[in-house]
Amino acid sequence: MAAVDWFGSAAAAPAPAPVPAPRARAVRAPAAAPPRRRRAAGRRLTGGIAWISVFALLLAGVVALNVAVLRVNVGVTKLDKQEQQLQAQNAALASQASSAAASLKIEATARRLGLAPAPATDTSYLDLGSLAAKP
What is the domain range of residue 105? 83-113
Q: What is the DSSP string of 48-65?
A: HHHHHHHHHHHHHHHHHH
Residues 6+ away with beta carbon under 8 Å from 5: 12
Tell me: pLDDT of 13 over 70. Answer: no
pLDDT band at 37 (very low <50, low <70, confident <90, very high): low
Tally of structural domains, the chain = 1
Does the model's pTM come out above 0.85?
no
Cα–Cα distance for residue pair 2/9, rounded to 1 Å: 17
Round the average pLDDT of the chain to a whole number and report it.
81
- Asked, for residue 108, whether it belongs to a domain, the answer is yes
pLDDT in tens, 55-81: 999 999 999 999 999 999 999 999 999
- Asked, for residue 89, whether it belongs to a domain, the answer is yes
